[in-house]
Structure formats: C-alpha cells, structure tokens
Structure 1
Amino acid sequence: MPLISRLATRVRAARQDMGLPRRELSERSGVSPRYLAQLEAGEGNISVLLLHRVATALNMKIEDLLSEEAPFDADVTRVAQLYDQAPVAVQGRVRALLAPENPATLRAQRICLVGLRGAGKSTLGRLAADKLKIPFVELNDEIEAEAGMPLGEVMALYGQDGYRAMEAQAITRVVERHDKLILAVAGGIVAETATFAQVLERFHTIWIRTSPAEHMARVRAQGDLRPMEGNPAAMDQLKTFLTTRAPLYERALAQVDTSTKPVQTSVNELLTTIATNRFLDSIGTR
C-alpha cells in the first residue's frame, strides 16, 4: 500500500476508534477540518509538523502512522491509552499478567528445596508444608510412582541417564499439576543443566545446607553406610563435592543453614524465609 494511502487509513481508523468527530480532532491538533478530510481521503501531502500534531492528538507516535512493518491495530492503540491512564499499581498487575517471562508468574507459588542428601530437605519440607497447609512432594517418590518400581530398581534397570530423563519428566508433571506446593529434589539435579534451569524458572528455590560432618552423620543415621564403607577419605571427598557444587546451589533464591540446629528451629527459619521473600504471595498482591 502506498505511503499516503496507508497514512489515510490509519488516521481515519484511529479517529473513529476514539469516537472523535473530525472537527474535534481539528481542534485538538490545530489542523483544519478540510486538511484532515484530504488526509483521510489520501489526497495531497501533509508536512511532518502537521502530521506530528495529528499523531499527538490521536495519542499515537508519528512512526505508528508511517511504519511499514507493523500494521496499525486500533485495539492495541486503545489498550496502550488505557494503560497510560491507569494507576501505577494497575500498570504493575497488567505487566505481570501479560509478560510470560515474568519470574513471579512462571514460578507461581511453587517452592523447591535443593541441596545434598542429609541437609534436611525432606524433613523440613514436609513439616513446613504441613504448617502452611499446602502439598509436599518428594520428587523421587513421584519418579517411583510413575515407573511403578522402587528407585533402586529404576537405577538398576535404566541407569543414571534413564533416571535423569525421568527426573526431568517428573519436574514437568509437578509444574503441570501444582501451582502451590513444596518440592524436595535430589542433590544431583543441579548438575543437570537443562533440568536445573527448569527448576530455577518454575520454582522459588531454597538451598537447604549444612556442614559436611552433619551431612555424613545424617546419611548414616538414615541407615546408609555407603559414604564411609571402605573409604577412609570419604569426608575429604564430601567436602570437595560440596565445594564443587556450591556455585550451583548458590543460584537458589534463598538459603537456610541447618547446621547444629534443632529441627523445629530450622523449620521456623524455612517458614520465615518463605514469608520474607513472599514466595507464597499471589501475583495479584505483589
């Protein structure tokens, strides 16, 4: 469409969408009704100065009238006008609702606890969820339920790669089923780049951490003697492991250190962390 015709169509559509008689547009812009009639008919030329006045009177930018790439959309212009006139709080809610990349929108009210085994993710997560009256999900339980077999058999049958694939699928299912919950995941999930990226995007993440000595003691208390069995250097390896993974765990939005603390104290700190960061606030109240 020739420029003059495109310009005529857009000016006319914008004026009609605003419900403006041509004479009122003339009064707002300082451009005569006769000149406006010629402009909307696609007859004659208009100076940049006069066109700028017309665009301003229509609450538009002059480039919106001239652009080739973006066809004029009266609805979009109207929405833009309403947005400009809305209170700041309303504008904030509109941005949150319209931006799919908005972190608060994507994470909803989902919380994920990350950290090595023995830090206290399952214990704290279950107690905090009970206090908050929201679901608690252990990701490995979700994997076992889907596979129809214990985790040990999953690992034996499918191997580490198969388990990691199921882990990623389980994260997707949890996101689809829950907008509000506390999830506990295995410590190694942070090493899976794509899966951990999904966790960071879809959950408010909290690193549950403790000292190497307590990691080891708690795992042994759970009846798992493998970390120490036939391996006198196990503690040094655990420390190295923690140091290596710390930068990944530090990508979490918050941390709770459970070292040398009673369980209830750590639960209270977790609840305080959730409240302080407003992880369970709905998007409409932010």
Structure 2
Amino acid sequence: MSNSEVPQNTDDPRHALISRVARRVREVRKQKGMPRRVVSELSGVSPRYLAQLEAGEGNISIALLERVARALGMPMEVLIARNICVDPEAQRIAQLFEKAPDDIRAAIKDLLQVDKSASLRAGRICLMGLRGAGKTTLGRNVAKAFDLPFIELSSMVEDDTGIPLAEVLSLYGPEGFRRLEAEALERVIKRTGPFILSVSGGLVEQEAPFARLLSRCYTIWLQTSPAEHVARVRPQGAMQLAGDDEQQAVAKIKSLVDMRTPLYERAHAQLDTTRTSAQKSVRDLVSLITQMKFLTH
C-alpha cells in the first residue's frame, strides 16, 4: 500500500469504501479487545499492512480482507456493507436468526413489530387456560353476544384428521397433537376479521406458537380452583385423571397450574371463574373485553 493510491476525492465511491473498511476494522478489533499484533498473527497479514488498512491508506485485496475478517471472527460483508451493525452480540443474534426455523423467525418478526401489535390484535380474542376453566362454554356464548365466529383449535384438529380428539392423542401422541394444533393456529392467525378463539391448555408451552398467539391476538387467561377443574372435567372423561381419587386429582391439577402459571400470566387479561355460574362468567367476560377495548384497539 502507498499514500499515492489513496483517492483524494471524497465523492469517489472507492474512497468511501476504503474509509468504511478502515473504520469497521478498527471498531471490531477494539470491541473484541484484540491488539493489532494478534490480528496479524491470526490473519497472516503484517502489522504494518494492518496499520495502513485501519488508516485508510490504500487498497486491500479481497483475499487479504477475507483473512482479516476471519481473524476478527466476522463475515467479510460486515466490514464492507454500508448499513450494518458491527456489535458482536448483534452479529451473533443475526446469525442465530438466519439459522432459526421459519416459525421461530416469524415469531421474532411479530414480536419486533411493537407499533403494529395493537392493530394486528384488534377484535381477535383468544381464551386460554386448563381444561375445565370454561373456554368452550364461555367462548361460544361470548362469541354469540358479540356476533363473532367462535373457533376451537381442538375441533379444527379433529376436522383435519377426521377422528375424535382422544384418538388423535392416541394415534399421534402429545407431540403430534401439538404440531397439528400449531398448524391450525397459523391458519387462524392468517384469517382476516375478528373472532373468539379457544386453544388447548398446553399451547403456552410451545414457545413459537405462543409468541405468535400473543402478537396476533388479545389473550385472556380463564382460571378456576383445582377442585373446580376436577369437578368440571371428570364428567367429560378426562384421561389424565383416570384412576385418581379426588385428592390425587386435585393435587395433579394444582401441580400443572403451578407449572404453567408463569406462562399464563403473560396473557393480556385474566378472569377467575371460581364459584361463578356460567351465566355470570359470560357477563363478566363480556364486560372485561369491553373495558379492555379488545374489539377496537
């Protein structure tokens, strides 16, 4: 490199590129706390050459720049591109994002659209909670009160497979059901217009679908006491409680509630239906939705 090679016209794109590369190399090296000597040893480029590069004193071949970038632990494009963040943590996150599955990337994009989240959720209400909290009963009645469609993901899974839910779980297993429910949820989210939605109690344990749900729907956690959960689901033939006496069943439900509470608490609102009639719970839920302006914001 020689000073005679440095373009003097600041409008020259070559000068802008050389200056940008010089600045990026300096920034990245300092952020990583790497002495020039270490970069030289790792890249095989002489310290004098690196000093000239960081000073913007001339051109550098693509081959040598690639060796410098590799020594700095950065993609070469980070040193060249016009608008790019050189923060190492940002680069690490960007690399993880590029390797992530499509559903995770979609969920991350939704979470980053903070300014649009309210408009995306408006009129789209999801009821969640353990089985027996009243999601189906209240969901149908509230949908009727607001003249909205009621959608139950478990029913969609039954329609998709052509078999009852109990057989779905037996044939596909819990993981298979979760996959089918996540696919059904994605179809619902892509719908236009308002609705009342009910999801399974375990959907909150699926990180990407739950994040997607939170970003596209107003969520309401319906809850009741463990004893009432048991009293409500036993007549429905709940398989997970088969063979348990009353005390064992209540303890099992309590343990499940305790485990999922941190996830359910991420809901936009909560409604406790303990010792409350279905009619009053419907009125309470209608009032909550109205007060929270879930249908308009």
Q: How high is the TM-score relative to the length of structure 2?
A: 0.60
Q: Distance in 2 between matches of 1:241 and 1:224?
A: 14
Q: Of 169, 174, 193, which residue of structure 2 is paired with 1:160? A: 174
Match of 1:122 in 2: 136
Distance of aligned partners of 1:263 and 1:253 in 2 relative to their CA distance in 1, 3 Å threshold:
same
Give 5+ residue unaligned stretches, structure 2. 1-6, 14-80, 84-111
Match of 1:78 in 2: none
What pairs up with 1:61-100 in 2 under 5 angstroms? Answer: 69=82, 100=113
Distance of aligned partners of 1:281 and 1:167 in 2 relative to their CA distance in 1, 3 Å threshold:
same
Match of 2:289 in 1: 274
Deviation at 1:228, TM superposition (A): 5.2
The amino acid that maps onto 1:156 is S
Paired residues of 2:230 and 2:249 also in contact (CA < 8 A): no
Match of 1:169 in 2: 183
Q: Distance in 2 between matches of 1:225 and 1:150?
A: 14
Q: Identity rate of aligned residues, in percent?
A: 45
Using the TM superposition, name which of 207-216 and 218-227 deviates more.
218-227
The amino acid that maps onto 2:282 is V
Within the alignment, does 1:109 sit opposite 2:109 as a pair? no
Deviations 1:175-230 (CA, angstroms, capped at 9, x unpaired):
12243100011111111111111111111000000011110100123344751524
Using the TM superposition, name which of 147-156 and 128-137 deviates more.
147-156
Within the alignment, does 1:191 sit opposite 2:205 as a pair? yes
The amino acid that maps onto 2:128 is V
Distance of aligned partners of 1:161 and 1:112 in 2 relative to their CA distance in 1, 3 Å threshold:
same
Secondary structure (helix, strand or coil) at the match of 2:183 reads helix
User: Which structure 1 residue ranges, 4+ long, deviate > 3 Å from structure 2?
Assistant: 1-6, 223-226
The amino acid that maps onto 1:138 is E
Within the alignment, does 1:238 sit opposite 2:253 as a pair? yes
Residue-pair matches, total: 193
Match of 2:70 in 1: none
Paired residues of 2:122 and 2:194 also in contact (CA < 8 A): yes
Match of 2:272 in 1: 257
Give 5+ residue unaligned stretches, structure 1. 7-67, 71-98
Q: Distance in 2 between matches of 1:268 and 1:112?
A: 17
